[in-house]
Amino acid sequence: MNRQVWLASILLACAAAALGQVDSEALANSQQDDESWLMYGRNYSAWRYSPLDEIDTENVGRIAPAWIFQTGESGKFQTTPLVRDGVMYVTGPSNHAWALDLKTGRELWHYSEPVPGDLPLCCGKPNRGFAILGNRLFKVNMQATLVALDATTGDVVWEVESADYRKGYSNTVAPLVVNGMVVVGIAGAEFGTRDFIDAYDAETGERRWRFWTVPGPGEPGNETWGGDSWKRGGASTWITGSYDPELNLIYWGTGNPGPDLDGAPRPGDNLYSDSMLALDADTGELRWYFQFTPHDVHDWDSVADPVLIDVEVDGQPRKALVHANRNGHFYALDRTSGEFLFARAYTEVNWADGMTSAGRPILIPGHEPTDEGTLTCPGMGGGHNWHATSYSPQTGLYYFNSGDGCQIYHGATQDFVEGEYYLGSAMENVTGEPREGSILAVDPGTGDRRWRFALVSPPTSGLLSTGGGLLFAGTAEGYFVALDAARGKPLWRLQTGGPVRAPAITYRFEGRQYVATAAGSAIIAFALPR
């Protein structure tokens, strides 16, 4: 090879590498990038909508697996894969991750990190996905660490500890990259932790800011916690938020106060548990908050997707944030100010009789958990829990799933023991009344339900809507399903052989549309036959 050809090859390689870099602009324009899936919610507004329309309501019945990747790992696969430049990046349970060749599904590299045996966990060892910036991938590990990986090799570039896992902290959230920072939440409220949202420098891993979701002494909101209960206040942040670049605000939901079911040790509203937070992206300072369930005693985390939609409410155009809460209500807020716009019950609710004009639930007495137990609807898991939702600008509908049914809530006083469950008792199912589920389509400007697809079991998967007029979902019994997004009618399904616990993604590769999802312990990519 002569010198000129050699130099030209180097320059071409550099140019290709540069083209492959995911910069802030690429993230901001992710909704227009049909060949990639660059963040948890696909765009900063968390729509999980792709305009791709090669697969549509007419031909979806012919899609079939193009490849299947068997991970060989057990556990809950709840990941949203990322796609860029012919590679799919997938996280799995128990600190595993893979890079897969989009053409064949073959493994390019495998990352793993042992989970400490003494890690206190409430809910398995899932992980919900990577974030990406430049040629780096970012993921959390179960032991409350954040790692940056080289996207080409899977090698660790840096690793930081967010909190001490021995105190009950853990992490499962997919990070969100904003303004060169990696924003992550934390989990641990079932163990009496005090939780937060962190932002780390994507280049160095240095922490740039932290927002404590339970205010400390002297901070506004600390007065809503009796005594020193704020120290064990919980308010975890275990699902990815959204971001409005114009307002430079990050929106992130918070979880239950601790102990979950016993309100006696923590008199007050318990800010900012069960709330939506709007934080300045550069500083982490609180711009506004809205608390959905003050002084929660039913474990109704409010971590579900904060979805940003410009929509007409009561005849007025609003920059809205919509959110399906575990407490059984669908909410619309003004995302510039946090103003409550409206709330509508979407499943059976027996604990509140509507809302005040400010959005505070009007409580129906008799639903505090007791030693003997109280029947309350929805049950502990909701309502809509954490599973990814979707907004289709094509249909104008917002899609989310719901666990439907009630549970008996038992309360009991419990002393705090570091690293041990701090629940204040437990729930039990109602005999002869199995909890079921549904996929719902609502008008985001009114909360009116447009259709409901019933599920025999509480939902397990997230949702994806496409320009082909489709809504993709999965079921606990292993079906991967395409519904008509306008009417909710099933158009296609495949029994995958394992529970579908992840939301699907879609992308175009070599001119062909693919839809991919985790099912059981496998990743499956579907396409129309060539």
Partner 1 sequence: MRWRVLTLFVSLAVAAAGQELERSPFHGDEASIGAGKASFRLRCSACHGIHAEGGKGPPLNRGEFSAGNRDADIYRVIAQGVPGTEMPAYGTRSTEENIWRIVSFLRTFEAVGDERVDGDAERGEALFWGAGGCGGCHKVGRRGGSYGPDLTRIGRSRSVQHLREALLDPDEDLPAGYFVVKVVTRDGKTISGIGSGIDDFSAQLRDVSGKLHSFLREDVESIEREFKSVMPSGYGESLSDQQQRDLLAYMQALRGEESR
Active site residues: 299
Rounded CA-CA distance 424/114 in Å is 31
List, in sequence order, every beta strand (DSSP E) within 314-461.
316-324, 329-334, 340-345, 352-355, 361-363, 374-376, 390-392, 397-404, 407-409, 427-429, 436-442, 449-455
Per CB under 8 A, 475 contacts partner 1: yes
The residue among 201 and 477 lying less far from partner 1, judged by its C-beta, is 477
Identify the residue among 435, 452, 493, 508 touching partner 1 (CB under 8 A). Answer: 493
CB of 428 to partner 1, least distance (A): 6
- Total chain residues near partner 1 (CB under 8 A): 33
Q: Which positions from 113 through 152 interact with partner 1, judged by CB under 8 A? A: 118
Q: Is 100 exposed, middle or buried (0-12, 13-18, 19+ CB in 10 A)?
A: buried
List, in sequence order, every beta strand (DSSP E) within 163-306.
176-178, 181-184, 196-201, 207-212, 242-244, 249-253, 275-280, 286-291
Q: Which stretch binds partner 1 (CB under 8 A): 179-187, 361-369, 452-460, 521-529?
A: 452-460
CB of 380 to partner 1, least distance (A): 11
Identify the residue among 479, 507, 509, 526 touching partner 1 (CB under 8 A). Answer: 479
CB of 420 to partner 1, least distance (A): 5
The residue among 104 and 495 lying less far from partner 1, judged by its C-beta, is 495
Per CB under 8 A, 357 contacts partner 1: no
The residue among 316 and 413 lying less far from partner 1, judged by its C-beta, is 413
Distances (CA, A) of 384 to 4, 115, 164, 216, 345: 61, 29, 30, 30, 11
- Cα dihedral sign for 398, 399, 404, 407? negative
Q: Which positions from 363 through 382 interact with partner 1, judged by CB under 8 A? A: 373
Q: How far is CA 91 from the centre of its chain?
A: 14
Which position has the token pair 């985390």?
301
Identify the residue among 456, 489, 497, 512 touching partner 1 (CB under 8 A). Answer: 456
Rounded CA-CA distance 418/420 in Å is 6
Sheet holding 176-178, edge to edge: 176-178, 181-184, 196-201, 207-212
For residue 386, the 8-state DSSP code is S
The residue among 473 and 525 lying less far from partner 1, judged by its C-beta, is 473
Q: Which positions from 414 through 433 interact with partner 1, judged by CB under 8 A? A: 414-418, 420-426, 428, 431-433
* C-alpha torsion angle, residues 217, 223, 224, 226 (rounded to 10): 80
Which position has the token pair 């399904």?
493
Backbone angles phi, psi at 446, to 5 degrees: -130, -20
Which position has the token pair 């227009």?
32
The residue among 328 and 419 lying less far from partner 1, judged by its C-beta, is 419
CB of 302 to partner 1, least distance (A): 22
Per CB under 8 A, 413 contacts partner 1: yes
Identify the residue among 410, 466, 521, 525 touching partner 1 (CB under 8 A). Answer: 410
The residue among 275 and 496 lying less far from partner 1, judged by its C-beta, is 496
CB of 421 to partner 1, least distance (A): 5
CB of 456 to partner 1, least distance (A): 6
The residues that touch partner 1, with contacts defined as CB under 8 A, are: 118, 373, 410, 412-418, 420-426, 428, 431-434, 454-457, 475, 477-479, 481, 490, 493
